[in-house]
Amino acid sequence: MKKVGILTGGGDCPGLNPVIRAVVRYAVQEGYQVVGIKNGWKGLIENDTVELNLQSVSGILPKGGTILCTSRTNLYKKEADAKKAKENLKKMGLEALIAVGGEDTLGVANKLYKDGFNVVGAPKTIDNDLNCTDVTFGFDTAINIVTEAIDRLHTTAESHNRVMVVEVMGRHAGWIALESGLAGGADVILIPEVPVDMEEVCDIIKKRHSRGKNFSIVVVAEGAQFKKGTMVTQEEKLDAFGHVRLGGMGQRVAEEIEKKTGYETRVTVLGHIQRGGTPTAFDRVLGTRFGIKAMELVLKKDYGKMASIQGNKIIAVPLDAAVSELKTVDMEFYNLAKIFFG
């Protein structure tokens, strides 16, 4: 029986299980055995696998996270790991490997393809910053969670005459901050693509107060930076892909607002709440469509490609192009949002 492998790498998000389910359902229909590789690229190094069948994926459509588990492992960081992973991949006898992940996971997938292995990808990241696709699954669920949180903060902010700062995810791209902030009626939205000018932020809040608005909502992406500044980090230690752990930007912004305006300010860090829970209907359908497309690419032997949505069409794009650069916020879109600031 022909075999196809699948793994999920990087940060978890709602929509991963719908992808796995779709791949398995389609693969079994076409006479394939599906090998699930556990814990992302770490599982490939350790040869940690599980057989996936119709029973395995029954009931997982509405579940968040990933039944295969995940890790932030870069198998190309150490030569010995890369060698071991390639040996295991050959031993598995897979016709192809489907890698589901974001920039880092698919970057590794692209290197494997260039090293001669049959690999295809499916785009996942709540940050929505992967190139060559209009949207990634997980993003819709994340912005719905953040929007609900902002809605809840409106009532407590107004009751206490406070400024509420909401820190959301977004290392290099401010898609979550922008879309949830716009949907939630935020008064200021701070994103990594635009250096933060605290004088301007405080002027906006003061003007609101001068016309009788005694509360404000400020949404800030964790990767936002002050003018002539650097990212605010929790620690200097780097992960396997060379990223620092971000965190604390919301607190810094809140402190500056309170100091410069005198208004009582509180900060809420949503953190991994944005990644958790049940996927929205949109993400369930998108994940399913990506999974079907990924398996279709395997059947066509069209390797080195990633499933992508452009308009309402699911198409294949080169992995090389998908990981070549990040998709950052469109400034025309951001300027639209600024109409509502203050």
Task: Out of 12, 81, 127, 140, pick the active-site residue.
Answer: 127
Quick one: 230 exposed, middle or buried, by C-beta within 10 A (0-12, 13-18, 19+)? exposed
Give the length of the chain. Answer: 342
Q: Which two tokens stand for residue 140?
A: 């819709």
Kindly report the number of other CB atoms within 10 A of residue 131's CB atom.
18
Strand, helix or coil at 83? helix
Contacts of 279 (CB under 8 A, 6+ apart): 14, 15, 17, 18, 62, 64, 137, 138, 141, 287
Does residue 127 have an active-site annotation? yes
Integer CA distances (angstroms), 115 to 85, 94, 210, in order = 12, 15, 63
For residue 76, what is the DSSP state?
T
Nearest CA to 130 among 114, 98, 107, 99?
A: 107
End-to-end alpha-carbon separation of the chain, Å? 62
- Which residues carry out catalysis? 127
